[in-house]
A and B are shown apart, each in its own frame.
Chain A
Amino acid sequence: GQQLNQSPQSMFIQEGEDVSMNCTSSSIFNTWLWYKQEPGEGPVLLIALYKAGELTSNGRLTAQFGITRKDSFLNISASIPSDVGIYFCAESSGTYKYIFGTGTRLKVLA
């Protein structure tokens, strides 16, 4: 099955640093979603993007829907220890079914 290329696979950063991760695909999509999964829990939706070029923020998180509609970016500013987890991108071509990226595992060192 199709999957999205998500990078980096993992990141170890110091508290207070900014974080960037991205997701790319060979296909064009209509919707990009970003999820966070904390240890021992299911993923939780952070941000949804609906059109090319869209830039959306949720607190310290900012995500963008790439102009080409084949990629998306998530930035976290001034990281804190509770940002630890796995971040997944997901996209849909318009059906109810989403395809997920392989995840970026984030660890924040205090």
Chain B
Amino acid sequence: DVKVTQSSRYLVKRTGEKVFLECVQDMDHENMFWYRQDPGLGLRLIYFSYDVKMKEKGDIPEGYSVSREKKERFSLILESASTNQTSMYLCASSSRASYGYTFGSGTRLTVV
């Protein structure tokens, strides 16, 4: 069964900590994405990647960075976590040959 796996379902971190959210896909997809989901705001794109070592900013990149050293892995980094980054984070991947994304189950991050 093809899937996108996010390393943690729940995380609690302290303000100022550096936080790593990991995402791995086993579908050999070229494209990978990080979204955050907040009530009433839907899904907002943070960063995406079309290829290894390639990244592009989405709509809300401030306070975040990403890394894609291997095709199957896309990491989201919160350089210095803040309380307004408390949210559900969703990773997704897609193929250039088909429509739509496959999403992971999400990581609910709480920054205290």
A residues in contact (CB < 8 Å) with B: 1-4, 6, 9, 31, 33, 40-45, 48, 50, 88, 90, 92, 96-98, 100-103
Contacts and interface: CB of A to CB of B under 8 A. Distances in A.
Contacts of B42: 3-4, 6, 88, 100-103
A86 B29 CA distance: 26
Given A9-B40, A42-B106, A96-B50, A33 B100 contact: yes
B48 A33 contact: no
B90 A43 contact: yes
Interface in B81-111: 90, 92, 94, 96, 99-106
A102 B41 contact: yes
Given A31-B99, A41-B105, A102-B40, 20 more contacts: A1-B44, A1-B60, A2-B59, A3-B42, A33-B99, A40-B106, A41-B106, A42-B4, A43-B90, A43-B101, A43-B103, A45-B100, A88-B42, A96-B31, A96-B94, A97-B48, A97-B58, A100-B44, A101-B42, A102-B42
B12 interface: no
B19 interface: no
A103 B44 CA distance: 12
A48 B90 contact: no
7 contacts: A33-B100, A40-B9, A40-B106, A43-B101, A97-B33, A97-B45, A98-B101
Interface string B22-36: 000000000101010
Nearest to B92: A42
B96 A96 contact: yes
B70 to A, nearest CB: 19
A100 B42 CA distance: 7
Given A41-B105, A97-B48, A98-B101, A88 B43 contact: yes
Contact of A45 (B4, B9, B48, B101): B101
Contacts of B45: 1, 97
Contacts of B106: 40-42
